[in-house]
Structure 1
Amino acid sequence: MSVKPTIRKPDWLKIRPPVGERYFELKGISKSLGLATVCEEAKCPNIGECWAGGTATFMVMGEVCTRGCRFCAVKTGNPNGWLDHEEPDKLAGVIGKASWDYVVLTSVDRDDLPDGGAAHFARCVTEIKKASPEILVEVLIPDFQGEEAPLKALLNSQPDVIAQNIETVERLTHPVRDRRAGYQQTLTLLQRIKTWQPDRFTKSSLMLGLGEAHQEIRQCMADLRAHGVDILTLGQYLQPTVKHLPVERFVTPEEFKEWQKVAEEEFGFLYCASGPLVRSSYRAGEFFLKGVIEARKQTPL
């Protein structure tokens, strides 16, 4: 991958700073309880829209990731086994008070823990559902280094949607992702979910603008569908700092619309959220999934 100077962002990527009473309320609550949101840690461009609307993606197991992916703004280091054991109860309390009907949980990679943090993650889901029985929980999970037991433990907590991000096309997996991550490792994890729990919705995300070819994007879509993935999100890669990988090109909104059509009509994804500012946790996709899940629950067997 070539290294080039930072190129100027086009107009369609200009983002208004977050404002609004609801945004500041949620920010204050999460900080007071020591809860982390991936919205802030990953510098999500949609933070103002989502938080003002009362939606956030909470990041469990701390703010320090044991991996060092070259696209990601989250801190890298060694947490040395640290966990906030009160975190599941804190999350359940905040989410219950907010009266949300759909929440997303994600986490850093915790390769320092024997199970990758699966038991803690599962407890977060369990406590949230216990406090808010009608809530739908989406989880964006680590790959647990390809181990089956941690994934099974997480599945036992019964999240409604499970995501693991492929991030980029196969050729660019390294250097884009940490060496401990893998293209096939992600595909295998997603397929296991469908094998063990066929009714569970699975989801993945692909960044564009890192130097991928069109045929490589199509191949990635084909691979995801072949491994049972239901939902796909496509978004523009944005360089978090000068130390991260540079943007190779900015994909136009029109091209993103075309990719959505390809994903849904040619490859058969149930839904594809595709746009320059789309991220793996995205309100439009969550709204769609909420409708599908609720309709399924109301359909008699």
Structure 2
Amino acid sequence: MTSCKPTKKEHQRKPDWLKIKLNTNEDYKGLKKLMRENNLHTVCEEARCPNIHECWGSRRTATFMILGAVCTRACRFCAVKTGLPTELDLAEPERVADSVVIMNLKHVVVTAVARDDLKDGGSEVFAETIRAIRRKNPFTSIEVLPSDMGGIEKNIRNIMDAKPDILNHNIETVRRLTPRVRARAKYDRSLELLRRAKEMQPTIPTKSSLMLGLGETHEEILEVMDDLRANNVDIMTIGQYLQPSKKHLPVLKYYSPAEFGELRKIAMSKGFSHCEAGPLVRSSYHADEQVNAAAKQRQAQGEEQLATQNS
């Protein structure tokens, strides 16, 4: 892979491929109004996602962020507010489900702040949100993106028993950089969550995301891919880390679109059912396409197994 070490000037001026087109059309404005009226939070806004105008303005999709807007962790890459949460809104699952109906979403992503102040890590609210969406819009596919919830098996089971269509938990960075990048998180605990989720519900695809530009090596990126596959992760997304503010970790390298393309090919060769890779890719980017790709692969595998049995 080519070297792309940024100078101080490049930190201030991003490469051309990171420039985005703002789309504040009526769909974007309408969705923003809906979120405010229902007192809902989205990771699109809270984490300053670069794709918000595409998703809200063109694709009309959003990633709901439940359990409030204050996170108990202070990860050095994340723009979400940190502190001691004061709210646990038990009516939130119904409001999210109502919004899914109003928006007529075919696929919805539900994530949350880390709630280390709660014994269940917020897993019960996650589960009830899944059930509420199922009741009110049974044809909507559901992807959930929880924190590690302390690595407690019961918390993972609460979510998996509600049967989301995809379980997503982000590894975020390579093993070596995890203590510096992710507050309170552990690399192996994230892998364990993904492995346990698959063991609990083998037919539900699992997914994880890696961000680049924090000082990782090519060999370490490949190690993450191997670790995810060793724990039966089906889908992977790879994107560029962008510094939210001067208080956060600096970008040490901007990867080119060609480099992301190369990494996608490697990921697919290692057995992932789908890999989305690119400078602006985030965990829920084109999530609707990912669930379709995973479903098609499961169907193909089932047909292959059936053919083998009948031969």
Relative to the length of structure 1, the TM-score reads 0.94
Could you list the per-position Cα deviations for residues 190-246 of structure 1 after superposition, in whole angstroms to 9, with x for gaps in the alignment? 000111111110000000010000000001100000001000000000000000000
Distance in 1 separating the partners of 2:274 and 2:97: 29
Task: Give how far 1:121 is off.
Answer: 1.1
- Which residue of 48, 55, 73 corresponds with 1:67? 73
Q: Deviations over 1:41-92 (max 9, x none)?
A: 0000100111122100000011000000000000000014x21111111111
Instruction: Please give the secondary structure, in 1, of the residue aligned with 2:30.
Output: helix
Match of 1:281 among 281, 284, 288: 284
Match of 1:141 in 2: 146
Q: Distance in 1 between matches of 2:240 and 2:148?
A: 23
Q: Following the alignment from structure 1 to structure 2, what is the Cα–Cα distance between the partners of residues 23 and 120?
A: 27
**1:297 deviation in Å?**
7.4
Q: Determine helix, strand or coil for the equivalent of 1:204.
A: strand
Inter-partner Cα distance in structure 2 for 1:148 and 1:292 = 25
Matching residue within 190, 198, 204 for 1:194: 198
Partner of 2:266: 262
Residue 11 of structure 1 aligns with an amino acid whose one-letter code is D
Give the letter aligned to residue 151 of structure 2.
G
Distance 1:189 1:209 in 2: 25
Matched, 1:117 2:122: yes
Superposition pairs for residues 1-301 of structure 1, below 5 Å?
5=8, 6-52=11-57, 53-80=59-86, 82-178=87-183, 180-265=184-269, 267-283=270-286, 285-293=287-295
Letter in 1 for 2:196: R
Letter in 2 for 1:289: V
Aligned AA (1:137): I
Query: What is the Cα deviation at residue 291 of structure 1?
Result: 4.8
Length-normalised TM-score, structure 2: 0.91
Q: 8 Å contact 2:273–2:294 — kept in the other structure?
A: no
Runs (4+) of structure 1 exceeding 3 A deviation are: 4-7, 294-301
Distance 1:22 1:224 in 2: 37
Q: 1:292 to 1:185 in 2, by over 3 A?
A: closer
Distance 1:95 1:294, change over 3 A: farther
Structure-1 separation of matches of 2:248 and 2:156: 30
Superposed CA deviations along residues 257-284 of structure 1, whole A, max 9, x for unmatched, are 000000001x11111100000000011x
For 1:71, give the aligned amino acid: F
d(CA) in 2 for partners of 1:122, 1:114: 15
Q: Using the TM superposition, give the Cα deviation of residue 296 of structure 1 relative to its aligned residue in structure 2, in angstroms.
A: 5.3
Identity of aligned residues (%): 50
Q: Distance in 2 between matches of 1:99 and 1:88?
A: 16
Letter in structure 1 aligned against 2:291? L
Contact conserved, 1:136 with 1:290, CA < 8 A, in 2? no
**How large is the Cα RMSD of the aligned pairs?**
1.8
Unaligned runs of 5+ residues in structure 1 are: none
Q: What is the count of residue pairs matched by the alignment?
A: 295
Distance in 1 (alpha carbons) for counterparts of 2:131 and 2:111: 14
CA distance in 2 between counterparts of 1:60 and 1:50 reads 19
Q: Distance in 2 between matches of 1:187 and 1:228?
A: 10
Output the CA distance in 1 between the equivalents of 2:128 and 2:43: 19
CA separation in 2, counterparts of 1:162 and 1:98? 22
How far is 1:114 from its partner?
A: 1.2
Query: Amino acid of the residue matched to residue 134 of structure 2?
Result: K
